[in-house]
């Protein structure tokens, strides 16, 4: 068996090929919109979601081409949420490149000679690019019968994505926006977990479910187990994401560390640390939390405090528990290459460095 | 036969009922997002698109319930584009109420005590609300087999909306943003017509096509004629929209007149007037075009100039030609109540005052 990273690489390449296939693309125009729409999908995501979907299908003996195309659709869907999140969070970098709105702002200056209007132009084009990516993702799903998927199963995949998962992601993002407006002490761990599960875990859960449904043609205990697996693995992933946002390598991640603190994001790390902190320590945290202009030194000192309070280590332990929980759901499946890849994938989602 | 306005009213009520049906709604949360998502759909649009879709289906003897639900989906889809357009155009009013981002900005001040952050909060929530409306619209289409639609036809409706029409609308909006950055003289009538056809006509064309396809189960000459009818009627509608944006009643439309000029929008009216204007008249137009702070008097004087140059009357004539062109496509259909309603509807789209 090839190593996991080789297998992941081959899913990422298959997804890139589907995304580049012009016969499956909408006719993106004008050229600036095309540039904004294709920017993230073609700068190499990790393809974790497509891999989860494709391997969930493989675990139940399903056909690979339909699962890979559905995986590419999910990757595009994820991309749409990133483009809009970057606008909302005013993040200027994504995977080491300018984020979509920053790219469009720069192009607006260069191509149209914009000055004070450039930022609004960039934001406007990024909104439209994300809109287009959502459309494209769904259009791609609608073509699955070309690869042998049942039309009714395909409609079920579309309905679940658009009625349940999409609104859940949006709910998570809305809560992510709102929680920093509330005092740290009134935001419970349950509030933060709910935000994470809607914003992140719902789409991973969908991947497990969709791969299973494409293989089985109907929902059964194994399909549901794959959905639960994806849900837990997704939460573990997000916990690790929060850790990397504080102590990861900027070079590996292609974005600045500490921005979660500057944006005042309510992560479980913050909630845990706050509950344990003295008044003086809380005051120190308050000087960086939600302060966009916090210096590198202030961020480093706050991060050291979070570490000293045990919050970072405890969240890593929690991620490991979610991982174990995820893996237990795979126990009811007959062991095969697909199941083994899912186990390795979940492990990597927690141990990753970017 | 009931009058057209009664028939339109009954479509609008059926659409509102579908939109209010919680069994068909995603679980919108948090409550602020729910408020933003439902704001436009429940403040009474004219339901022109759902009527066109439902009556196109009726013209070919199709089942009404599926066409009405598809019409409600199109109305929601249209709403998503309005919410994002209002963010992009920074329009504070829609149908006499605060636009989605303005509403959320105000709620942000009230509920979270925001001050300088309120505008970005409003914009962020409006982006998410539009995202959710796009998802909801497609989820609704995916349920059409519940009302007897063929699953393959349903997938075709989804694919066409998301691969062709959605990206066309986004293209039109992107061009609408970009054209004002270019000198008036270099923007051709063809450029402006292309922008209008993508931004507006494509969705009306879709309504004719989708209603026909639901009735027939496959594309034939009559289905294509309904698409062409919708396309021409949509262009006539947009031409009249541009006229109303200059000389309409603010009270009837629920939004300020003259904003197209202040935003520097490139309408055919402007192109026509510019071609006929003297240097002095062009200089006068330039003092308002794209000047957000143009006074009521300056706008009124510019509008009088556009009228004097014959641009407004000529665009009304052009709209009448598109209407005639639209109606000709209906000639190949066997006359029935559906066809007669489509004829009346197209007439109303050009003669409307709001």
The DSSP result for B144-177, as a single string, is GGGGT--HHHHHHHHHIIIIIIHHHHHHHHHHHH
Chain A residue nearest residue B86, CA to CA: A124
Question: Is residue A333 a contact partner of residue A225, using CB atoms and an 8 Å limit?
Answer: yes
Best B170, B191, B291 member to test A by mutation, with max A CBs in 10 Å, is B170
pTM (predicted TM-score) = 0.96
Whole-number pLDDT of residue A253? 74
Tokens 């075709």 belong to B156
Nearest to A30 among B27, B142, B175 (CB): B175
Interface check for A128 against chain B (CB to CB < 8 A): the answer is yes
- Whether residue B171 and residue A143 make contact (CB cut-off 8 A), yes or no, is no
Q: Mark the ranges of chain B whose per-residue pLDDT is less than 50.
A: none
- Please, what sign has the CA dihedral across residues B339, B344, B350, B352? negative
Q: Does pLDDT of A306 surpass 90?
A: yes
Interface check for B134 against chain A (CB to CB < 8 A): the answer is yes
Cα gap B239→B346, rounded to integer Å: 13
Residues of chain A with C-beta less than 8 angstroms from the C-beta of B120: 90
The burial of B47, by beta-carbon neighbours within 10 Å (0-12 exposed, 13-18 middle, 19 or more buried), is given as buried
Cα gap B323→A75, rounded to integer Å: 43
Task: List CB contacts of B135: < 8 A, sequence separation 6 or more.
Answer: A134, A161, A162, A163, A166, A167, A170, B26
Whole-number pLDDT of residue B63? 77
Residues of chain A with C-beta less than 8 angstroms from the C-beta of B158: 138-139, 142, 158
| Domains annotated on chain B, with CATH | 4-351 (1.10.600.10)
Interface check for A235 against chain B (CB to CB < 8 A): the answer is no
Residues of chain A with C-beta less than 8 angstroms from the C-beta of B80: 131
B97 three-class SS: strand
How far B156 CA lies from chain A's nearest CA (Å)?
8
Cα gap B158→B218, rounded to integer Å: 14
- Whether residue B142 and residue A162 make contact (CB cut-off 8 A), yes or no, is yes
Nearest to A142 among B33, B136, B159 (CB): B159
Best A21, A24, A29 member to test B by mutation, with max B CBs in 10 Å, is A29
DSSP of A263-292, one letter per residue?
A: TT---HHHHHHHHH--HHHHHHHHHHTT-T
CA angle centred on A294, ends A293 and A295, rounded to 5°? 110
Nearest to residue A9, comparing CAs of A43, A44, A38? A44
Which letter, b or e, does each residue of B226-262 get, where b requires 16 or more Cβ atoms within 10 Å of its Cβ? bbbbbbbbbbbbbbbbbbbbbebeeeebebebbbbbb
Cα gap B108→A261, rounded to integer Å: 21
Whole-number pLDDT of residue A270? 93
The burial of B95, by beta-carbon neighbours within 10 Å (0-12 exposed, 13-18 middle, 19 or more buried), is given as middle
- Whether residue A170 and residue B131 make contact (CB cut-off 8 A), yes or no, is yes
Whole-number pLDDT of residue A250? 75
Residues A239-249: pLDDT tens digits?
999 999 888 87
Interface check for B247 against chain A (CB to CB < 8 A): the answer is no
- Whether residue A139 and residue B163 make contact (CB cut-off 8 A), yes or no, is yes
| Two structure tokens written together for B189 | 């009538």
Q: What is the largest CA-CA distance in chain B?
A: 63
Residues of chain B with C-beta less than 8 angstroms from the C-beta of A152: 145, 151
Nearest to B167 among A80, A121, A132 (CB): A132
Interface check for B119 against chain A (CB to CB < 8 A): the answer is no
CA angle centred on A337, ends A71 and A140, rounded to 5°? 10
Nearest to residue A305, comparing CAs of A335, A327, A284, A336? A284
Whole-number pLDDT of residue A354? 76
Chain A contacts in chain B segment 158-187 (CB below 8 A): 158-159, 161-164, 166-167, 170-171, 173-175, 177-178, 181-182
| Two structure tokens written together for A319 | 């991620």
- Whether residue A162 and residue B135 make contact (CB cut-off 8 A), yes or no, is yes
- Whether residue B30 and residue A171 make contact (CB cut-off 8 A), yes or no, is yes
Could you list the beta-strand ranges (E) of A104-180: none
Could you list the beta-strand ranges (E) of chain A: 93-94, 97-98
Tokens 């504080």 belong to A246
- Whether residue B167 and residue A32 make contact (CB cut-off 8 A), yes or no, is no
- Whether residue A166 and residue B29 make contact (CB cut-off 8 A), yes or no, is no
Question: Is residue A64 a contact partner of residue A18, using CB atoms and an 8 Å limit?
Answer: no
Cα gap A226→B293, rounded to integer Å: 57
Q: Does pLDDT of A255 surpass 80?
A: no
Whole-number pLDDT of residue B254? 73
Nearest to A142 among B33, B112, B162 (CB): B162
Cα gap A28→A38, rounded to integer Å: 9
Residue A82: phi and psi, rounded to 5, are -65, -45
Percentage of residues in chain A having pLDDT higher than 90: 88
Interface check for A32 against chain B (CB to CB < 8 A): the answer is yes
Whole-number pLDDT of residue A45? 81
Cα gap B121→B136, rounded to integer Å: 22
Interface check for B147 against chain A (CB to CB < 8 A): the answer is no
Chain A residue nearest residue B181, CA to CA: A112
Nearest to residue A321, comparing CAs of A268, A244, A266, A275? A268
Q: How many CB pairs under 8 A join A and B?
A: 168
Strand partners, B94: B97
Cα gap B287→B277, rounded to integer Å: 14
Residues of chain A with C-beta less than 8 angstroms from the C-beta of B32: 174, 178
Which letter, b or e, does each residue of A209-218 get, where b requires 16 or more Cβ atoms within 10 Å of its Cβ? bbbbbbbbee
- Whether residue B159 and residue A139 make contact (CB cut-off 8 A), yes or no, is yes
Best B70, B74, B171 member to test A by mutation, with max A CBs in 10 Å, is B171
B94 three-class SS: strand
Interface check for B155 against chain A (CB to CB < 8 A): the answer is yes
Rg over alpha carbons for chain B, rounded to the nearest Å, is 20
Query: Helix B48-59 and helix B4-20: axis angle, to 10°?
Result: 110
Question: Is residue A319 a contact partner of residue A206, using CB atoms and an 8 Å limit?
Answer: no
| Two structure tokens written together for A148 | 């042998």
Nearest to B155 among A131, A136, A151 (CB): A151
B98 three-class SS: strand
Chain B contacts in chain A segment 96-115 (CB below 8 A): 112-114
DSSP of A64-122, one letter per residue?
A: HHHHHHHHHHHHHHHHHHHHHHHHHHT--EETTEE-HHHHHHHHHHHHH--STTHHHHH
Residue A156, preceding peptide bond in cis (omega within 30° of 0): no
Whole-number pLDDT of residue B76? 98
Cα gap B246→B217, rounded to integer Å: 42
Residue B148: phi and psi, rounded to 5, are 100, -5
| Two structure tokens written together for B228 | 């062409």
Chain A residue nearest residue B154, CA to CA: A155
Q: Does pLDDT of A99 surpass 60?
A: yes
Nearest to residue A52, comparing CAs of A221, A267, A231, A261? A231
Residues of chain B with C-beta less than 8 angstroms from the C-beta of A121: 177
Cα gap B326→B228, rounded to integer Å: 7
Interface check for B42 against chain A (CB to CB < 8 A): the answer is no
Q: Does pLDDT of A1 surpass 60?
A: no
Best B114, B155, B203 member to test A by mutation, with max A CBs in 10 Å, is B155
Whole-number pLDDT of residue A37? 97
Whole-number pLDDT of residue B42? 86
Interface check for A125 against chain B (CB to CB < 8 A): the answer is yes
- Whether residue A175 and residue B130 make contact (CB cut-off 8 A), yes or no, is no
B276 three-class SS: helix
What average pLDDT is seen over chain A?
Answer: 94
Whole-number pLDDT of residue B1? 53
CA angle centred on A120, ends A118 and A126, rounded to 5°? 100
Task: List CB contacts of A10: < 8 A, sequence separation 6 or more.
Answer: A2
Residues of chain B with C-beta less than 8 angstroms from the C-beta of A174: 29-30, 32-33, 125, 128
């Amino acid at each position: 068996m090839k190593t996991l990273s080789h297998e992941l690489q081959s899913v990422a390449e298959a997804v890139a090929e589907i995304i580049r296939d012009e016969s499956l693309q909408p006719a993106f125009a004008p050229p600036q919109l095309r540039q904004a729409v294709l920017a993230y999908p073609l700068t190499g995501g990790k393809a974790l979601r497509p891999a989860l979907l494709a391997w969930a299908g493989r675990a139940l003996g399903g056909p690979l081409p339909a699962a890979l195309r559905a995986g590419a659709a999910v990757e595009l869907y994820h991309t749409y949420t990133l483009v809009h999140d970057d606008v909302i969070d005013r993040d200027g970098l994504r995977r080491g490149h300018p984020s979509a709105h920053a790219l469009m702002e720069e192009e607006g200056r260069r191509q149209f000679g914009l000055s004070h209007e450039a930022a609004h132009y960039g934001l406007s084009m990024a909104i439209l690019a994300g809109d287009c990516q959502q459309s494209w993702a769904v259009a791609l799903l609608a073509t699955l019968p070309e690869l042998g998927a049942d039309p009714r199963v395909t409609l079920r995949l579309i309905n679940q994505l658009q009625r349940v998962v999409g609104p859940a992601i949006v709910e998570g993002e809305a809560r992510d926006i709102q929680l920093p407006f509330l005092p740290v002490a009134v935001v419970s761990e349950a509030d933060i977990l709910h935000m994470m599960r809607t914003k992140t875990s719902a789409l991973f859960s969908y991947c497990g479910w969709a791969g299973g449904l494409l293989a089985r043609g109907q929902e059964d205990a194994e399909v549901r187990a794959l959905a639960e697996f994806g849900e837990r693995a997704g939460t573990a992933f997000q916990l690790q994401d929060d850790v990397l946002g504080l102590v990861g390598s900027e070079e590996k991640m292609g974005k600045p560390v500490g921005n979660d603190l500057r944006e005042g994001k309510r992560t479980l790390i913050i909630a845990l640390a706050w509950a344990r902190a003295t008044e003086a320590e809380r005051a120190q945290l308050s000087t960086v939390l939600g302060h966009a202009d916090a210096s590198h030194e202030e961020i480093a000192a706050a991060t050291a405090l979070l570490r000293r309070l045990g919050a970072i280590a405890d969240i890593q332990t929690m991620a490991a528990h979610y991982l174990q929980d995820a893996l237990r759901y795979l126990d009811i499946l007959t062991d095969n290459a697909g199941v083994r890849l899912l186990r390795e994938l979940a492990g990597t989602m927690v141990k990753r460095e970017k």
